[in-house]
Amino acid sequence: MGKCSNHSDRETSFLCLKYNIYMCEECLQCRDPEIYCKFRSSCPIWFIDKRQKDWDREARAQEEVKTFKVIFKPEEREISVPEGSTLLDAAIAADVHINASCNGKGSCGKCKLILESGNIKSEPTTLLSDQEKAKNYILACQTKVLGDVTVKIPEETIERKLKVAGMGQEATDRFKGLVKDIQPMLIEIPLELEPPTLDDSSSDLDRLNRGLKKTGCCDVDRLSVGIKVMRELATAMREENWNVTASVMRKKCSNEILNVRPDNGQEKSLGLAMDVGTTSIVVCLVDMTDGSIIAATSGHNSQSACGDDVINRIVCAEKDGVAKLSRMALSTINNLINEALDSVDGDFKDIKNVVISGNTTMTHLLLKIEPRYIRREPYIPSVSEFPILKAGNIGIKANPIAAVFIMPGPASYVGGDIVSGMIYSGLHREESLTLFIDVGTNGEIVLGNNDWLMTASCSAGPAFEGGGIRWGMRAEEGAIEKVSIDPETLEPTFSTVGNVSPRGICGSGMIDLISEMLLTGIIGQDGKYKIDQNHIRMKQDGEDLAYIIAFADETPMQEDIVFTEIDIHSLMLSKGAVYAGFMVLLEQAGLDFSMIDRILISGGFGQYLNVEKAITIGLLPDIDHDKFQYLGNSSIAGAYMALLSDYYRKEAIKVSNNMTYIDFSSNSRFMDEFTSALFLPHTNLNAFPSVKIK
Amino acid sequence: MGKCSNHSDRETSFLCLKYNIYMCEECLQCRDPEIYCKFRSSCPIWFIDKRQKDWDREARAQEEVKTFKVIFKPEEREISVPEGSTLLDAAIAADVHINASCNGKGSCGKCKLILESGNIKSEPTTLLSDQEKAKNYILACQTKVLGDVTVKIPEETIERKLKVAGMGQEATDRFKGLVKDIQPMLIEIPLELEPPTLDDSSSDLDRLNRGLKKTGCCDVDRLSVGIKVMRELATAMREENWNVTASVMRKKCSNEILNVRPDNGQEKSLGLAMDVGTTSIVVCLVDMTDGSIIAATSGHNSQSACGDDVINRIVCAEKDGVAKLSRMALSTINNLINEALDSVDGDFKDIKNVVISGNTTMTHLLLKIEPRYIRREPYIPSVSEFPILKAGNIGIKANPIAAVFIMPGPASYVGGDIVSGMIYSGLHREESLTLFIDVGTNGEIVLGNNDWLMTASCSAGPAFEGGGIRWGMRAEEGAIEKVSIDPETLEPTFSTVGNVSPRGICGSGMIDLISEMLLTGIIGQDGKYKIDQNHIRMKQDGEDLAYIIAFADETPMQEDIVFTEIDIHSLMLSKGAVYAGFMVLLEQAGLDFSMIDRILISGGFGQYLNVEKAITIGLLPDIDHDKFQYLGNSSIAGAYMALLSDYYRKEAIKVSNNMTYIDFSSNSRFMDEFTSALFLPHTNLNAFPSVKIK
């Protein structure tokens, strides 16, 4: 039966078929939507008539827990929460997106809100400036609700539309020709069957199997069928005079008839390729008949309210139950699917094939598979190769019988997204020795060719995605993405995503900035500020020295956007980890950089990356610039290929199984290399001959 | 999602996991247990607190339907039903067992009750004697509830314990040695796994598969796994230090890991072999380690309230939805399972393998598979060969992951119970030409040997089981089972099941009676009474002439038990159909009775059968008595063999596929033979040389 979705220690009695939520008896009886159902606003069960309100009142009276109303402006979203809830809890419940990098620990200071009215209690924090405090700024995770509250989400906290580059027509063009022969997992086979007679009185199911056998579509002897299909078979077969369409799922070791519908006419068949990242999720809606991408959407993984990195997500899953994290990811995914469908006036029932590419933690959380051992030595995932699942069983908004392929991942910290990258790049098909890197919330590296594959993960941390950086942010609207600094005046020139006023700085902007600061002598090789502290661009930010990239009057928040020494240090740790990863992996293979034929850079981050500047700070090795190639989001590209092709699905499993994973966590060579790399560009300057430091 | 269990035309929103009932929104909201849930008395959801009553009151007020209380004595069962319900509906809802042979049409007169008090409205009926009317007898199906009512179930209507011969120790002895090598469908494999290390960091699932592969228990490459197991895997594997037991279901074309539990110690493993008959259901609880039968129970199929024969059951399913019939059968089955478990202090979770043998209609109804085309030309079942199912998916009280094998059946009117008979008798394994008959509610025949198998069904009707016979009943306590008549005085001598006062007459008693009446000249070869209508044993029963078997003062009902001319005619139709079946099947094979090496008689009915008397009335052919052999309940025996052996499960599928079904419904030779057989013993007396008629 499984456990209650709200109380993981209780047996369930009911299953909400609409939202796939298991409920214990208390949940069913209480029916207090604020407490028990995340989907209340669209649920026909909970909000039906006045009885609902009576139950709520009664339930509340019985439990003697007061609830208060919280209104989030500017969207005026309203939610009731029990007394003592944090505003972050309220935001999660109201589906109001707030960034909380540190998982509510109160250490990142990102979940800022402005209190308009109401009774609250805030913990003291040093993460708000006096100026902010004067404006009634509070931190959502550090503030408890003690009465009805109205808060406003400030400009800098509102999440903007993610820039999803290379999707839509661009992607159709980029992906065109990648797959020649389209073979979905769930195939639809139109059949014109012989009606039965007294002399040919075999059962309906036997007749169907006979028809399927004739088409040669699949091995009928290895064909199974479920109870639901058996129940509906007789009616379906007779409705359109023995013309039917059978939906058959081709699985690893058998095939299964999942549906039989009357009429053998053509029905639309859509597919979904998805990249479920720690930070952002990309959804491509694909026409399965020709492989064209008819819509693409992307958004922030709403799990962000539980922290920026996979470790925080796992901690949260251990605390609150993995179902919570699954629901959060599904909420983002299903909203993106809706958005994609709406844009082409599509119907979710037409979606019959789905491929999900994501890192190991993301797939575990999404499928509600126990993730806790991923973060504990010896770092073991529950599952690396997944059976083909049904969308209805995992909560994806698609036809409930849609086949779902989860990209396999070789290890806890090298997941299906990297295998997708292999499939798309074809690294494992070519002789040339290739280094593949994907720097997202984590940094993964693959080294190899058609003979062998080695892979490793270096805990780069979320700095490149804005995590733990004072004004760090993702590549959203308003993010500073390019920076240059005048060597004479030390004045910066920058451009932002969307060409609007700057709201923060993203990964590529940080790399530019540090590289420019190093070359102009603002900082030294140790990452410390060298110039006069009284320079117009320098200021004290709390106890930290900082360079002002944009003055308050240039920004919508009316605050200086600065880059502190601590920020520089965070970024040096990240780049050092990636570079150390390269070094150790090469060493293990007995190679050096000169033997590398090409370096493939994957991930949304790579797109805006200035290779020269990345070399300057020692993130990338100092080799011929022509050997670098930017792949774009290879996770979504590989998912797209696997969606259309059985060949690539099998190849993915093979590649995943053939990758040799090197664990750095207990590798002393990695620690040595890491320490050597905590310098700009590196303690061994000989390795960076092209970097000329003033 | 499936349809609402209460409203077959509605989509469901909720699934009650406890009772496996689908509910639409109205059902869930209404929560009126009288209307919507059959299981209310034991359901923790419905009866919880005063709110339940408020809801009931509110729901009733809204619907403006009055409900009244009905009490059934002597057990004092109480139920509330809406105004206008029949007492038969009330009995079904209260789980009070009442026989209603005609499915509530008011034509059989079996559902007698005695009104003690209350406001009712009865339709006029000729099926109650004036004497009965004077005693306040009413027919449950013809009486509507218009106020609170108290009724008593009269002696003759109370269903007695079925006599299940040959079960328990007897069956263990009989079945001993049938299966040498026990191979369950769901096997439990204890494993001692290597704990993971940094150098051996494969995923938990890969580790489990590796362990399974080592044991050689099953083909790991064809092993699938469900989402539930993946979710629980990590915890289960670590709980007892990497010692686990995997439950693997061996299916036709793949294997599936259904459960992984910590600890690799031995757990009990029980199995269920079941014979689900139209009239009665037999359940054997088997110890899977040695094949011994540790408990056996049997009872009336509670579908009887919807009619005696499969046609009435299908009609009822079409009217009220197949889910109702499924629930009725499951209620009997699960009560019998409970009874069997209680008798040995067993736990239903230990039941991990189940085999169900039943006719095609019974299996369709049980599994809620559309049965309507079984009764419509060209008589097509939905499914003849079933995949292995899980107990939890079909509502059988066993471990939810228990593997359920349904005996395959070759045709709409030759089902899995007959295939079971083949497996047990071994007819298809031997050279000798054998005729197999099973006369239950229907009559099925198989003719053949190890080369070929022909089968047919003759609509014998339910007369041999008491259906449509004035005082007919099943072989329960009080049934007259043996009769002889003094040729001089024409006085009968009889014995009853359980040696108690006679309550009616069962199949073997009727055969004895007609044979004796024929030989003593009470009736002629045309089945009409020939003796003086004023004979002390003769009386007028309504408009019908009848022979008195037992006088009123000998019976607990204080009424004469009689056998009417219409009863004789009904029995002649039944025996004529069976004999015509023999003839046509032989003719189709180009054979005659002299070539038959043996005749196997199966079914509960056969046990008390006097072969000589059955020949006298022309039910069985007049051949060497030594060629007749009584098999007992071969349906349960075959189910038992399939429960223990993969070989027999595969053989069952092969046998079912190899049987050539001959349809009699449109066969003119059958009609000719049938007409010729409507005589005692037959129009062709030469075929019955041993029958000497006075």
Percent of the residues in chain A that have a pLDDT greater than 70, as a whole number: 87
| Tokens (6 digits) for A347 | 């119907």
Q: pLDDT tens digit string along B149-192?
A: 999 988 766 665 555 555 656 667 778 788 989 999 999 999 99
Q: Which residues of B touch A368 (CB under 8 A)?
A: 227, 231
Contact: B196, A380; criterion CB under 8 Å: yes
Is the distance from CB of A599 to CB of A427 less than 8 angstroms?
no
Contact: A381, B13; criterion CB under 8 Å: no
- B229 to chain A: nearest residue by CA? A369
The number of C-alpha atoms within 13 Å of B675 and in the hemisphere containing its C-beta is 5
Residues of chain B with pLDDT under 50: 1, 30-56, 59-60
Shortest Cα distance, chain B CAs vs residue A334, angstroms: 19
Q: pLDDT tens digit string along A54-83?
A: 444 554 455 556 788 999 988 888 888 888
Closest CA relative to residue B448, chosen from B435, B459, B438 = B435
The pLDDT value recorded for residue B425 is: 96
CA atoms of A412 and A410, how far apart (whole Å): 7
CA atoms of A184 and A291, how far apart (whole Å): 11
Lowest mean pLDDT among A138-152, A670-684, B105-119, B537-551: B105-119
- A195 to chain B: nearest residue by CA? B378
Contact: B25, A44; criterion CB under 8 Å: yes
Based on DSSP, count helices (H) and strands (E) in chain B, helices before strands. Answer: 19, 29
The pLDDT value recorded for residue B20 is: 57
Cβ pairs A/B, distance under 8 A? 204
The pLDDT value recorded for residue A692 is: 84
Closest CA relative to residue A607, chosen from A167, A101, A160, A156 = A167
Q: Which residues of A touch B668 (CB under 8 A)?
A: none
Contact: B25, A48; criterion CB under 8 Å: yes
Shortest Cα distance, chain B CAs vs residue A211, angstroms: 15
Q: Which residues of B touch A196 (CB under 8 A)?
A: 378, 380
Of the pLDDT bands very low, low, confident and very high (cuts 50, 70, 90), residue A38 is very low
The pLDDT value recorded for residue B35 is: 42
The pLDDT value recorded for residue B48 is: 34
Is the distance from CB of A491 to CB of A645 less than 8 angstroms?
no
**pTM score, two decimals?**
0.80
The pLDDT value recorded for residue B607 is: 65
The pLDDT value recorded for residue A22 is: 66
CA atoms of A448 and A271, how far apart (whole Å): 32
Is the distance from CB of B631 to CB of B600 less than 8 angstroms?
yes
ipTM exceeds 0.85, yes or no: no
Which CA distances in Å does B588 have to B92, B448, B459? Answer: 45, 12, 19
The number of C-alpha atoms within 13 Å of A258 and in the hemisphere containing its C-beta is 24
CA atoms of A46 and A37, how far apart (whole Å): 8
Contact: A29, B48; criterion CB under 8 Å: yes
| Cis amide bond preceding A681, omega within 30 | yes
Is the distance from CB of B388 to CB of B405 less than 8 angstroms?
yes
Closest CA relative to residue B136, chosen from B148, B127, B128, B146 = B128
Shortest Cα distance, chain A CAs vs residue B225, angstroms: 7
SS3 assignment, position A61? helix
Contact: B44, A51; criterion CB under 8 Å: no
- B47 to chain A: nearest residue by CA? A29
Contact: A381, B15; criterion CB under 8 Å: no
Contact: B384, A254; criterion CB under 8 Å: no
Contact: A196, B378; criterion CB under 8 Å: yes
B198 → closest Cβ in A382, A389, A663: A663
Q: Which residue out of B19, B48, B201 would a mutagenesis test of the A interface target, given it has the greatest number of A Cβ atoms within 10 Å?
A: B201
- B378 to chain A: nearest residue by CA? A198
Lowest mean pLDDT among A421-430, A503-512, B19-28, B331-340: B19-28
Contact: B224, A372; criterion CB under 8 Å: no
Closest CA relative to residue B673, chosen from B659, B684, B662, B663 = B684
Contact: B197, A234; criterion CB under 8 Å: no
Contact: A2, B228; criterion CB under 8 Å: yes
Q: Which residues of B touch A18 (CB under 8 A)?
A: 13
Contact: A205, B385; criterion CB under 8 Å: yes
Q: Which residue out of B4, B62, B227 would a mutagenesis test of the A interface target, given it has the greatest number of A Cβ atoms within 10 Å?
A: B227
Burial label for A606, CB within 10 Å (0-12, 13-18, 19+), is: buried
Contact: B17, A18; criterion CB under 8 Å: no
| Tokens (6 digits) for B56 | 């009931």
CA atoms of A403 and B209, how far apart (whole Å): 23
Contact: A230, B382; criterion CB under 8 Å: yes
SS3 assignment, position B282? strand
How many other CB atoms sit within 10 Å of the CB of residue A432?
10
Q: Could you give the residue ranges of the DSSP H alpha helices within A16-106?
A: 25-30, 33-36, 50-63, 87-93
Contact: A13, B14; criterion CB under 8 Å: no
- A221 to chain B: nearest residue by CA? B253
B45 → closest Cβ in A28, A370, A386: A28
- A666 to chain B: nearest residue by CA? B198
Is the distance from CB of B379 to CB of B427 less than 8 angstroms?
no
Q: Is the pLDDT of residue A36 over 50?
A: no
Q: Which residue out of B256, B380, B588 would a mutagenesis test of the A interface target, given it has the greatest number of A Cβ atoms within 10 Å?
A: B380
The pLDDT value recorded for residue A167 is: 61
Closest CA relative to residue A634, chosen from A271, A286, A174, A288 = A174
Q: pLDDT tens digit string along A181-191?
A: 999 999 999 99
For residues A127 and A505, the model is more confident at A505
Q: Which residues of A touch B412 (CB under 8 A)?
A: 201
Contact: A234, B386; criterion CB under 8 Å: no
B253 → closest Cβ in A202, A221, A238: A221
Shortest Cα distance, chain A CAs vs residue B385, angstroms: 8
The pLDDT value recorded for residue B14 is: 63
Q: pLDDT tens digit string along A620-639?
A: 999 999 999 988 889 999 99
| Tokens (6 digits) for B38 | 């059959």
Closest CA relative to residue A311, chosen from A370, A371, A391 = A371
SS3 assignment, position B530? coil
Of the pLDDT bands very low, low, confident and very high (cuts 50, 70, 90), residue A16 is low
Of the pLDDT bands very low, low, confident and very high (cuts 50, 70, 90), residue A678 is very high
Q: Which residue out of A250, A370, A455 would a mutagenesis test of the B interface target, given it has the greatest number of B Cβ atoms within 10 Å?
A: A370
Closest CA relative to residue B382, chosen from B397, B399, B365 = B365
DSSP state of B407: P
Phi then psi dihedrals of residue A53, to 5 deg: -65, -40
For residues B117 and A355, the model is more confident at A355
Hey, which bits of B335-402 come out as E strands? Answer: 351-358, 389-390
The pLDDT value recorded for residue A33 is: 42
Q: Is the pLDDT of residue A234 over 60?
A: yes
Q: pLDDT tens digit string along A434-448?
A: 999 998 767 899 999
Is the distance from CB of B284 to CB of B293 less than 8 angstroms?
yes
Q: Is the pLDDT of residue A175 over 70?
A: yes
Residues A131-159, buried b or exposed e (16+ Cβ, 10 A)? ebeeeebbbbbbbbbeeebbbbbeebbbb
